[in-house]
Structure 1
Amino acid sequence: MRRNIHRAPLAVASALLLGVFATSCSTEDPTDDTSASEAPADSAESPEEGSEETESSEEWFDQEVYDTQYEQRSATFEGNPEQPWLQYIDGEMTDTSKLASKGAKKACFANASISNPWRQTGWITMNQQLEVLVDEGVISEMETRDAGDDDNTQIADIDYFISEGNCDAFIISPNSTAALTDAVERACDTGKPVVVFDRGVETDCATTFIHPIGGFAWGIDTAEYLIDNLEEGDKVIALRILPGVDVLEQRWAAAEKLFEENGIEAVDYFTGADPTKIKTIITDELNKGEVAGVWMDAGDGGVAAIEAFEDFGADYPVMTGEDEMSFLRKWEETGLTGLAPVYSNFQWRTPLLALEKIFAGEEVPKEWVLPQTPITEDERADYLEANEGMPDGHYAKFGGEDLPGYPEVWQERQIP
């Protein structure tokens, strides 16, 4: 999809959801990093060689941000807890009074992709929120250009919007962090509202940057859970999607730090969320000895990881996945000791609601930090019940229950 004006949705075949990622990352590697831990599981390199420590965890670790996100996990959020997509942590606000304007406005959305179930779920929710705002006369249309997980394509998309899109505001979900920075700054230079969400860039010029607490919080939650349920010296396999995306790198940087400090042996692999690679990695590690835990930076592939233990005849590991429905269902079926961290999918509603506030001249958080709370075993049954009938690629905390089309649009994966 290169260009879309909001129109009636079309059903997307369920096969689109098979074999793709369930996280906020790209399906393509946004960097040229060729470090050892990227070696595919089916390459000539053994898993042990493929898991040598990379430099990325050190490059992406920031003690100040780590400490901030550690504290934000227990922060008080402003706003109605029944509308978590509008909640935020109190902090610096952006005065938008000079951006106030009457009448319906055109939004231009430069999206990294909808190439994985996490992004597809969010994209559906975003378009249902758009339908409400169009009906209310807030937004006239949203023109979308999808970059297909390619930095250069997304840069060109943003430059097109600046020169040809006749945009009243820009929404940008960056494909990768460093590469999109200059293009975001060019959008900011137009003087029009710029909303960045999901992944960050290396500039604070946006009117608001919307995201859940972040990757360090995810890494802390998941590593602490594994540490609490394992013994010193136990082995953990860390299954990672790809390098170069801030929220993913930060997840691992935080987890690796805590594993090292607590005597947990962790070996990490980039898998591309390929079920075959995941099973090969785990089988090879089980052939070497006991594996007590599995850590993931995204939930897709979680079922494949569990099945590898079943196929081997090994005891289930202590495991962290995500709030993707296939993991929640397999977790319940097996009864393993687990946790479902969340990178709040409901954030896809927030950029459009932020524009509503901006066009009304209301202040918005400069950094709009949304709640990010894992699903525990005690809560799992409630989320499974609430999302009964949803496909495996759906995300439990999608936050669209009050929008038009619920639940059929999400059940049928109707993607504009």
Structure 2
Amino acid sequence: MRRNHLKGVLAGAAALAVLTACSTDESGADPGADETSDGASSDSEWFAQADFDQQREQMDATFEGNPDEPWLQYIDGPMTDTSKWKTDKPMKACFANASISNPWRQTGWITMNQQLKVLEDNGVISEMETRDAGDDDNKQIADIDYFISEGNCDAFIISPNSTAALTPAVERACETGKPVVVFDRGVETNCATTFIHPIGGYAWGIATADFLVDNLEEGDKVVALRILPGVDVLETRWGAAKKIFDENGIETVDYFTGANPEKIKSIITDEITKGEVHGIWMDAGDGSVAALEAFEDAGMDYPVITGEDEMSFLRKWEETGLNGLAPVYSNFQWRTPLLALEKIAKGEEIPTEWVLPQEPITEEERDDYLEANNGMPDGHYAKFGGEDLPGYPDVWQERQIP
């Protein structure tokens, strides 16, 4: 199909994209799961044209650093001077984590702990005290305040549960004068020493919508399966995709699923009974197999689909020969906060906004990633980036979650 390409125009000195966030949140919340959102996420609350344009530009950016170590690459931009924190003594890191409640976060948490072992052995970090908020804003706020008052922390690492609610707590951590590393999900302040994240939700939405538009015809129908409302990176994924679908005459209907495989299968079954479904768009791919099973049960051909780099989708894709794309929200980012502390301990400059590569897996690359991750469980993510860490591959295969 001929696509109306949007021209990416960077907005001068664009502000930090603090509303970049995380992967899926499968905490069990399921608000509005039986209703479509009718594209409401494209409104001004969640959609910012300047951020859309910036992330489209960043998808083609040249990244600094070794491409064999994408967790250390970054887009050239403002740097933070860390010389005041230079030290020869091992640092105690205090990590306030949103949760490990879904496979993406579990995979990253395993990788992070294996990276920690290396830095402990090298005398960079003495220990990492971690508090898990279990997807609860109030719990994470209390965790951060505990670290500030009683944690004896040399540095803070924070993966916020949500954007606005955690902002004041992050600011309080900054006020201690200790280095603060925010990663994955963003907050509404730029006080952190560095904010680490892949390109972002708009880039995910652009890559996936472009792929579907290229493989569909004007007037075709796409069913969008979304996890839940109110998570910034998920909202911007859909906001970007919806904009591109609308501009190219693709009919869409979207549902919140609560990441429930039974609900996903039921939604697709109902949509099939209404008429032909040509495409499936997902803001996280770990429910993709359930969506495809609905087509199998109905005896229908598979649609064009965008999933994710979770192994269950990659395996289903190979097994069926369907037309697919695996967008990525780079799981290897879980290594970067600890490696940022290593650079801080050396007094080295680090990116103020540390934007990591975010490249989808195409059909041409799929088999290489399947081979490289042979033996990994279905909930593993192909671009986890831990192949050079101790314990590989056993720790990830056995899901040894600390």
TM range (shorter): over 0.9
2:94 is aligned to 108
Please give the per-residue CA displacement for 1:34-68, whole angstroms capped at 9, x wherever unaligned: 9xxx4334xxxxxxxx2142533312111111101
Residue-pair matches, total? 380
- What displacement does 1:26 show? 2.3
Answering whether residue 283 of structure 2 is matched by residue 284 of structure 1, we say: no
Secondary structure class of the residue paired with 1:310: helix
2:242 is aligned to 256
Secondary structure class of the residue paired with 1:107: strand
- What displacement does 1:315 show? 1.3
Structure 2 Cα separation of the partners of residues 207 and 178 of structure 1 = 19
Matches within 5 A, 1:258-407: 258-407=244-393
1:26–1:112 Cα contact (<8 Å) kept: no
- What displacement does 1:167 show? 0.4
1:25 is aligned to 24
The one-letter code sitting in structure 2 at the alignment partner of 1:53 is D
Structure 2 Cα separation of the partners of residues 111 and 63 of structure 1 = 30
- What displacement does 1:360 show? 1.0
The one-letter code sitting in structure 1 at the alignment partner of 2:41 is S
1:70–1:220 Cα contact (<8 Å) kept: yes
Answering whether residue 46 of structure 2 is matched by residue 39 of structure 1, we say: no
Q: 1:188 aligns with which of 171, 174, 186?
A: 174
Matches within 5 A, 1:60-75: 60-75=46-61
Structure 2 Cα separation of the partners of residues 125 and 40 of structure 1 = 32
* CA separation of 1:52 and 1:25: change in aligned 2, threshold 3 A: closer
Query: Structure 1: 5+ residue runs without aligned partners?
Result: 1-22, 42-49
Secondary structure class of the residue paired with 2:164: coil
Structure 2 Cα separation of the partners of residues 402 and 363 of structure 1 = 25
1:320–1:341 Cα contact (<8 Å) kept: yes
Please give the per-residue CA displacement for 1:300-346, whole angstroms capped at 9, x wherever unaligned: 10100110111111110000000000000001111110000000000
Secondary structure class of the residue paired with 1:356: helix
Structure 1 Cα separation of the partners of residues 260 and 322 of structure 2 = 22
Please give the per-residue CA displacement for 1:164-210, whole angstroms capped at 9, x wherever unaligned: 10000000001111111111011001110000000111111100000
2:39–2:239 Cα contact (<8 Å) kept: no
Q: 2:38 aligns with which of 36, 42, 53?
A: 53
Please give the per-residue CA displacement for 1:392-415, whole angstroms capped at 9, x wherever unaligned: 000000000000000000000011
* CA separation of 1:230 and 1:62: change in aligned 2, threshold 3 A: same
Q: 1:135 aligns with which of 98, 121, 129?
A: 121
Structure 1 Cα separation of the partners of residues 28 and 60 of structure 2 = 33
Secondary structure class of the residue paired with 2:93: strand
Structure 2 Cα separation of the partners of residues 156 and 319 of structure 1 = 41
Q: Please, what TM-score do these two structures have when normalized by structure 1?
A: 0.90
Structure 2 Cα separation of the partners of residues 70 and 52 of structure 1 = 25
The one-letter code sitting in structure 2 at the alignment partner of 1:63 is Q
The one-letter code sitting in structure 2 at the alignment partner of 1:215 is G
Query: Structure 2: 5+ residue runs without aligned partners?
Result: 1-21
Structure 2 Cα separation of the partners of residues 357 and 170 of structure 1 = 14
Secondary structure class of the residue paired with 1:414: coil
1:26–1:175 Cα contact (<8 Å) kept: no
- What displacement does 1:116 show? 0.6
2:90–2:125 Cα contact (<8 Å) kept: yes
* CA separation of 1:382 and 1:268: change in aligned 2, threshold 3 A: same
Structure 1 Cα separation of the partners of residues 398 and 389 of structure 2 = 15
Q: Please, what TM-score do these two structures have when normalized by structure 2?
A: 0.93
The one-letter code sitting in structure 1 at the alignment partner of 2:202 is F
* CA separation of 1:366 and 1:321: change in aligned 2, threshold 3 A: same
The one-letter code sitting in structure 2 at the alignment partner of 1:24 is S
Please give the per-residue CA displacement for 1:343-384, whole angstroms capped at 9, x wherever unaligned: 000000000000000111100000000000000000000000
More displaced 10-residue stretch of structure 1: 125-134 or 94-103: 94-103
Secondary structure class of the residue paired with 2:60: coil
* CA separation of 1:256 and 1:318: change in aligned 2, threshold 3 A: same
Structure 2 Cα separation of the partners of residues 51 and 112 of structure 1 = 27
Structure 1 Cα separation of the partners of residues 120 and 174 of structure 2 = 24
- What displacement does 1:27 show? 2.5
Secondary structure class of the residue paired with 2:202: helix
The one-letter code sitting in structure 2 at the alignment partner of 1:28 is S
The one-letter code sitting in structure 1 at the alignment partner of 2:217 is E
Runs of 4 or more off by more than 4 Å in structure 1?
A: none
